[in-house]
Each structure stands twice: as structure tokens, then as C-alpha cells.
Structure 1
Amino acid sequence: MSRLPTPATIAEAPTASQPMLDAVNRQLGVVPNLFRLVANSPAALEGYLNLSGALAKGTLAPPTRERIALAVAEANGCDYCLSAHTYLAKNFAKLGDDEIAANRNGSSNDPKADAAVKFAKRLVDMRGRVSETDLQAVKSAGYDSAQIIEIIQHVALNVWTNYLNVAVDTDIDFPVVRAHEAG
């Protein structure tokens, strides 16, 4: 059970959050627990939705964005985000089980995406302190400066949702996927 209250309905959320949750409902057909939880702070919900929306307009393909989300969620041990992004990866990005498993392990079966996922995982592992070699690897795979910045921003956004969901133990409302045991 979540350690912070999650409004059960849009109407139970703070008034300032309700129009934003209505927009999420129109877009997704449902309002996942993460959004309703974040709605406790209208400012945080607005920031999350604005950053997510801006990044969706970027040049990284949706499957690559999902691959990054899976790698980051696994690295941070976030079951909520692993569950949500596994669902999105299968149903919207059309990634297969082998690809999802590779992503969770910090790689990809697609050579170009592999560089992005490895770079994202390296960002998490090194807390942003990547080497020139790390940058050159992602550049050599064909990612330009704007795309590298987008990869970094996707990592940052996913780290935020991972930390939030782990800290408050958000109730998982997707088919449950658990992080591998940290060794």
C-alpha cells in the first residue's frame, strides 16, 4: 500500500490537478496511480506532464525511449516503473520479450538503440559522470548532440519517477514486473 495518499478518483485530487488528470484520462483512457499520486502536488504534476510532453516531441523514437525507461527502472529497482514500461514496451512500442530482457540488462538487440541504452545505464551507474569514451560511443552510433541531451533528460525524468515510486511504494496498477535482485 502506498505510503502517501493516492486520490482514488480525479474528483478527489486537488482542484488545481483535476484538469491535468482529465487530460491524462483523455490521452490514455485511464489515470494510472503514478499520475494520481503526483496530483497531490499540482506543481509537481504540471512539471512532470510538461517535461514528458516536451520530450515526446523530441527526435528519439518511442521504442528507444521505452528501452531507456526499462534500463533505468531496473538499475534503480523500481517495480512500479518496470511494470508500467514493460506494459508500454509490449503494447505500444511493440518490443518483444527478448528485447525487453536485454533493455532491463542495460543493452539492446538493435545496434543503434544498444548505444543509447548503454549510455543511459552508464549515466545512472556513474551519476552523470560519464567519460569521453562513453560520449564517443553514443555519438559513433549515430546520435547527435540534441539526441544525447534527450537521452540524458529521459534518464533524469525516469530517475525521478523511480525514486518517487520506490520512496512511497506506489501501488502497481499494471501487470506486475519485479526488479532483479541486487547482487
Structure 2
Amino acid sequence: MSRIVIPDVMSATGATADIYARVRKISGGRIPNTYATLGYLVPASLAAVLDTQGTLNSGNLSRQEHEVIKLLISEKTGCDVCVAAHSFVGKLVGLPVDALRAIRTGQPTGDAKRDALVRFVSHLHATSGTISDDEFNAIRAAGYTDTQLAEISLTIALGIFTNTFNRINDTDVDFPAIK
């Protein structure tokens, strides 16, 4: 059970009700537990998450690439809620189940560009300091542009924010079990 208890989302008022309405509009009426808690505690933080995601959705990375990054970061940070969520969404945007499993376990997915993205994000997560020229050149050689590198960075940051919050809260998993 989540550590932070919030009132039923249907009883929300003010800024919380407004941000919940925004979530319902983009998610088919559903308010995931992470969003429900963030929206109750700090509605502006959830608005920032949604705005950031909107920026990313209109960017140069594909939805699949975003889900690869989010799933990988969630696995590496140990956020069971986000691993379940991004496995679910990853399937919805067309990532094969075997590729999702490979991303989570650090195995090749069979797609050279996707595997380069996984290697790059894994390297960023596992190391500190400026990346080497070799790492930079490898991701560029895989076909990623400077703009996409900025989007990769923002996707990682957004994922780490929700991962960290869920780890603090022990947010209840409200997505299908991972197979």
C-alpha cells in the first residue's frame, strides 16, 4: 500500500481537480496512482510532468524510443510502478514483448539503433562525468542528432523524477503484471 494516503480522486477540488481533469483527458479517463498522488500533493509538479511529456511527444524521438528510455531507466532505478507502466505503454506503441524483456535484462533487441540507444542510456546511468568521445561518436553514428540527444536527456530526467517519487511513496502498481 502506498505510504502517502490521498483522498479519493473524485473528491478533488481546485488545482488538483483541474490537473486530474487534464490527466483524464489524455489518458482515456484513467488517473494512474503516481499521477493521483503527485496531483494531490503538488498539482504544479504534475502539470510540469504533463507539459514535459507534451514537449517530448512533439519532438524528434519516436514514442518507442521514449518508452525504451523510460523502461530502461525505471528498471535501473528499481521502480516497479514505472517498469510495469512502460512495459504496458511500450507494447501499446508497438515494441515487441521480447524487445521489452531484452531492454530490461540488458540483452540485444535485434534492432541496431535501439540497441545503441540502450547502450548509451545505460552508460549515462552507470557513470558520472562527461562521456567519452567514443560514447558520443557511437550514439551519433547510430543516427541520433544533437536535438535528439537533448530529448534523450530530458526523457531520462523525467523518468528519474517519477521513479524517485514512486520509490519514496512505495506507490501501488496499477498497471498489468509484467510477463
Tell me the TM-score normalised to structure 1 length.
0.89
Per-residue deviation, 1:127 = 4.4
Q: Which residue of 2 aligns with 1:15?
A: 14
- What residue identity is the alignment partner of 2:93? A
Q: Which residue of 2 aligns with 1:33?
A: 33
Q: Unaligned 5+ residue runs, structure 1? A: 179-183
**Over residues 152-177 of structure 1, what are the superposed CA-to-partner deviations in whole Å (9 max), with x where a residue is unaligned?**
11111101111111111001111134
Per-residue deviation, 1:130 = 2.4
- What residue identity is the alignment partner of 1:167? I
Q: Which residue of 1 aligns with 2:121?
A: 120
SS at match of 1:60: coil
Query: Would you say the 8 A contact 2:98–2:109 is kept in 1?
Result: no
Q: Which residue of 2 aligns with 1:43?
A: 44
Q: Unaligned 5+ residue runs, structure 2? A: none
Q: How far apart are the structure 2 equivalents of 1:15 and 1:128?
A: 43
Q: How far apart are the structure 1 equivalents of 2:156 and 2:109?
A: 16
Query: Would you say the 8 A contact 1:123–1:155 is kept in 2?
Result: no
Q: Which residue of 2 aligns with 1:96?
A: 96
Q: Which residue of 1 aligns with 2:162?
A: 161
- What residue identity is the alignment partner of 1:96? P
Per-residue deviation, 1:121 = 1.5
Structure 1 residues 28 and 112, CA gap change in structure 2 (3 angstroms): same
Equivalent residues in 2 for 1:43-122 (5 A)? 43-90=44-91, 92-106=92-106, 107-122=108-123
Tell me the TM-score normalised to structure 2 length.
0.91
Q: Which one is further off, 29-38 or 128-137?
A: 128-137
Structure 1 residues 6 and 130, CA gap change in structure 2 (3 angstroms): farther
Query: Would you say the 8 A contact 1:10–1:21 is kept in 2?
Result: no
Query: Is it true that 1:130 corresponds to 2:131 in the alignment?
Result: yes
Q: Which one is further off, 26-35 or 129-138?
A: 129-138
Q: How far apart are the structure 1 equivalents of 2:74 and 2:21?
A: 27
Q: Which residue of 2 aligns with 1:181?
A: none
| Number of equivalenced pairs | 176
